Chains A and B, each alone.
Chain A
C-alpha cells in the first residue's frame, strides 16, 4: 500500500509492511503476479535542518570532460590512492585516466564483450573488470597485463568488488549467482545462488565478514561471507526494484538505489530505513549512488534527467545539482581524498565529467 511504510520508524511492523500488507499477501519474489502498485504518495520536501547551524554546501564545478568512449559508459571508479580513474562501458576495454589532468592514459584490452563494472584493489596495483564474456579479468595496472582470468560465471558478469584487504573478490552475474573468488589463485571459492534475477550490485563490508547483494528480483540480501549463509533479506516497496547497494564506510548502514526514484539508507541490523533521498529520476536504468565524505557528508547519484544530484546526508536536502551531461548519468564516483566527483553517461553523451569543489569562493 504505502510505499514508504517499510521505512516507518515508529513500528516493529515496518519490516512487515515493507513486505506484505493485508491487501497484498504475496511474497515479493513473485512480483510478476502482483497487482499494479498504487500511485506513489510523494513525500513532502524534507524540512530544512532543525539545527540552527547552517550546513555547508558543496560547490562542485566541471573541471574536465573526458572523451574517448564510443559506447555507453557503465562504471567509473577512482583508484584508492586517488591517482587514476578507471572507466568501462559497452566496448571491450577498460580506460584509465588521470583525474587531475583529464588525460587519457591507457586501455586495458583483453575482454571480448562489453564491460559492466570495475573494481580497484586497495593498494591500487590491480584492477578487476566484469565482462559480458562471462569472465572477470584482474589487471596489473602498472604493466597493463592480465594477471588472472576468473572463469565460472555462466552468464554476463554484472558487478564486482574487492574486499578491503583485496584477497577476495565478490562478483554478481546475470544468472543470479554471487561468486567469491580467491584473488591470489584466481579460483572461485564459493558460489551463492543468491537471487532469481540479474544481480546488479555486490559489496563486502569493512572486515569482509558480510556481503550485501541486490538484484532485479527486488531483494537486498546480506550474506555471511565465510560460510555463504543468507543472514537477512531486505525488501523495499513493490515498485522499488533495487539496482545498487553498498555498505557505508563504517559498514553500519546500507545505501540502496531503487526504481521508485528513491535512494535509501538502511540500518540493516534493525531492518529499518533511516533516510530517503528523493528528487531525482530513476525508473529505468541501473544508476549507482555513492557516499561523499571528503568535505561535508553527501550522497551523490546520477539521474535520468541527465543531471547529477548531491544530497546532504543528514537533512536529505538536495544541496547541488550538476548539469552538463546530455544523457542519463548512470555512473558516479567520489575521490577518496579530494573533493572530486566523476560522472559517466550513456548513448548520446558518452563522456566522463570530472567535477571539483574548490570552496565557495571559486563558485562565486
Chain B
C-alpha cells in the first residue's frame, strides 16, 4: 500500500543503482518469496540467510562439505533447500528455534547435485538434477513417498534418421537444467542437445519434447510469475523468450495418438549481445513480467542488461556494477530490486531510488513539476455556514471504516468507494458545494492519489469520476502486459481463453485440477502465521 505513497505512478520500474553491498562471500544469492530475506551460498558448503531490513546475516546453515550448487525457498519461505557437490540435498526449517539451525532432512544421491528445487505448492516434493544428467522427483510425503527418475521417452522406430542419427546417445539425453513451472504442474527439463522436455509432475511421465533450433546445450530456464512466459539460456549465448506452451487434455494424459507431443518452439524474442557476444550467467523476470534482466558473463565487468518486454522486448538499459564480474542475479519477488552476486562474493542489492520529495515535509503541500495554471472552481470562494459544513462532515463520518480487513488495505480503489462515496446523488452534492479557502496550486492537494478527485471537482461533478480513481492499483498481479502480436495467433487466443478459465481463483481451481489436488494432499506446514522466525540477539550487553 505504501507503493502508492512512495511511487506516485504505480509502475514497477527496473532498478538502476546499487543500494547495498552485502559482503557475503557468496557464489550466488536468492530472494525468498516474501521478499524479506536473501539466501546466499558459499563455496565452503554453508549458506547464509540475510535480513534485508537490517542487512544482517541472521542464520548460518552449515550442512555441506563441498560448494553449494543451488538454493531454493519453499513457497512461503519456511523451508530452505541447499544442494551441493557433496551429493546431498539438505532441507532447513527456519521456524526451528535451535541456534545454529539443525538440518530438517537430507536427501543423498550417487553423484554431485547440480540443482534442486521445491515444488511450488508443496515443499515435500523436490526436483533434483545430478551431474550425470539425470533428474529425479523426490516425494517425501508419507502416503506417496517415492524417488522417481524422470526418463525421456524415445521413439525407437523409423524417424531415427530424422533425429540427426545419434543412436547411442538417444536412449539417454544429458539433462542440463530442470525446473518446475510456477504452478508446479509441469517440469521443464533442458538437455544438452537443445531440446526442452516437459514432464507432468503428478504422473512423472514425459508429455512433450520441444526442439529449439540453434540452442545447443541448455543452461537455464526461468518463468514469469504467472508462468505464461519463459526464457531459456543456452550455450549459443542467446536468451530466448517463449510463450509457455499449453497442452491438450490428451497430451497431458499421454493418450494422444503418437504419444509424446513433438513440437518445435519458436521464440517470440531473442536477446543477445551482438557486439561482444557475451554469454549469460543468469536471467530474471521482474515480478510483473514486464522486464527481463540478463546477467552478462563479462570477465571484466559487472553488467546487467535490461529489456522492456512490454515494449516489444526493446533494450532498456545496462546496469554497470563496477569491476567485479557478475556471476548470478535474481529479481525480488515483489519489488523493483535485483540481487546480483560478484565473483568476489559480494551481493549487490540494486534498487530504483526515489528522489526525495521535500514537499512531503509540509502538510497539504503538493509539488508540481512545472507551472500549472490554476483554474478555480465555480464555488471555490463561496462562503458556507460553518454549521452546514459541520453537519455535512458529521454525516460523512458516519461511513463505516474497516480497520482489520487487509483486502481493503491493499486495494485503495475499493476503500475509496466504500468510504468516500455515498452514492451518486450525495457525492455530486458534496463536490458541487465543496468549501474552499485557498487559490494556490501548491496548496491544493497533499497527495498525488487525490488528483482524479480534483479533476472531478473542477469538471463534471459525478460519482463515476470518484470511483475510477482506482485504475492505478499495483500492477504486479495483473496478467502480463505483452502485446498480443508475437507468437502464433491461434496459440495466443487459446491462451487468453485459458486465462479466463483460470481467473475464478485458486480455490475453485484446486477443486477441479487433479494436479493441484495432488500437490495439495498432505500439505506441508509452510503456512503463513503459523510459524515465525525467531529474532536472535547477538551477544549480551549487560554491564
The chain A residues found within 8 Å of chain B, CB to CB, are 1-2, 4-5, 7-13, 15-22, 27-28, 41, 43-44, 46-47, 49-50, 121-123, 125-126, 138, 145-149, 163, 165-168, 182-186, 189, 205, 208-210, 219, 221-222, 224, 226-227, 229-235, 248-253, 265, 267-272, 274-276, 291, 293, 297, 313-316
Docked pose: A235 CA to B360 CA in angstroms: 12
16 example contacts (A-B, Cβ-Cβ < 8 A) are as follows: A9-B420, A15-B447, A17-B437, A20-B364, A46-B397, A148-B540, A165-B36, A231-B6, A248-B404, A252-B402, A265-B401, A269-B447, A271-B363, A274-B397, A293-B403, A314-B398
B interface size (C-beta, 8 A): 76
Query: What's the A-B contact tally at a CB cutoff of 8 Å?
Result: 263
A222 touches B5 (CB 8 A): yes
A269 touches B5 (CB 8 A): yes
| CB of B536 closer than 8 Å to a CB of A | yes
| CB of B541 closer than 8 Å to a CB of A | yes
B437 touches A146 (CB 8 A): no
**Minimal Cβ-Cβ distance residue in B for A25:** B438
What 10 pairs across the A-B complex have the smallest Cβ distances?
Answer: A9-B396, A235-B363, A15-B364, A10-B430, A11-B434, A15-B446, A248-B403, A252-B409, A19-B364, A271-B446
B393 touches A229 (CB 8 A): no
| CB of B368 closer than 8 Å to a CB of A | no
B362 surroundings in chain A (CB, below 8 A): 19, 27, 233
B535's contact among A184, A235, A276, A314, by CB below 8 Å, is which? A184
The chain B residues found within 8 Å of chain A, CB to CB, are 1-2, 4-6, 36, 51, 53-54, 56, 58, 353-354, 356-357, 360-365, 380, 386, 389-394, 396-406, 408-409, 412, 415-416, 419-420, 430-431, 433-438, 443-447, 449-450, 453-454, 457, 532-538, 540-543
A16 touches B438 (CB 8 A): yes
A21 surroundings in chain B (CB, below 8 A): 437-438
A165 touches B535 (CB 8 A): yes
Say how far B335's CB is from chain A's closest CB, in angstroms.
10
A13's contact among B391, B437, B532, by CB below 8 Å, is which? B437
Docked pose: A282 CA to B69 CA in angstroms: 62
B54 touches A291 (CB 8 A): no
Main secondary structure of the interface of A (DSSP, over half): loop
Known A252-B408, A271-B450: A147·B4 in contact at CB below 8 Å? no
Docked pose: A18 CA to B445 CA in angstroms: 11
A249 touches B450 (CB 8 A): no
B360's contact among A1, A233, A269, A272, by CB below 8 Å, is which? A233
B435's contact among A17, A185, A234, by CB below 8 Å, is which? A17
B1 surroundings in chain A (CB, below 8 A): 251-252, 269
Known A12-B457, A222-B5: A253·B403 in contact at CB below 8 Å? yes
B537 touches A126 (CB 8 A): yes
Say how far B445's CB is from chain A's closest CB, in angstroms.
5
A231 surroundings in chain B (CB, below 8 A): 2, 5-6, 357, 360
A13 touches B397 (CB 8 A): no
Say how far B32's CB is from chain A's closest CB, in angstroms.
13
B398 touches A234 (CB 8 A): no
A10 touches B447 (CB 8 A): no
A233 touches B416 (CB 8 A): no
B393 surroundings in chain A (CB, below 8 A): 4, 7-10, 43
A47 touches B392 (CB 8 A): no
B56's contact among A8, A184, A270, by CB below 8 Å, is which? A184
A5 touches B433 (CB 8 A): no
A19's contact among B363, B398, B536, by CB below 8 Å, is which? B363
Say how far B405's CB is from chain A's closest CB, in angstroms.
6
Say how far B363's CB is from chain A's closest CB, in angstroms.
3
Known A167-B535, A226-B53, A274-B401: A41·B363 in contact at CB below 8 Å? no
A274 surroundings in chain B (CB, below 8 A): 397, 399, 401, 419
B54's contact among A19, A184, A248, by CB below 8 Å, is which? A184
Given contacts A12-B450, A43-B394, 14 further A-B contacts (CB under 8 A): A8-B393, A9-B392, A10-B392, A11-B434, A19-B443, A20-B364, A44-B391, A123-B534, A163-B53, A165-B535, A168-B53, A184-B535, A226-B53, A229-B354
For A13, A186, A233, A297, which residue has the most chain B Cβ atoms within 10 angstroms?
A: A13
A147's contact among B56, B446, B533, B540, by CB below 8 Å, is which? B540
B401 surroundings in chain A (CB, below 8 A): 253, 265, 274-275, 313-314
Docked pose: A232 CA to B446 CA in angstroms: 8
For A221, A232, A313, which residue has the most chain B Cβ atoms within 10 angstroms?
A: A232
Known A121-B535, A184-B535, A274-B419: A293·B5 in contact at CB below 8 Å? no
B403 touches A10 (CB 8 A): no
A210's contact among B2, B51, B54, by CB below 8 Å, is which? B2
B363 touches A314 (CB 8 A): no
Docked pose: A253 CA to B406 CA in angstroms: 12
B5's contact among A182, A183, A210, A219, by CB below 8 Å, is which? A210
A148 touches B419 (CB 8 A): no
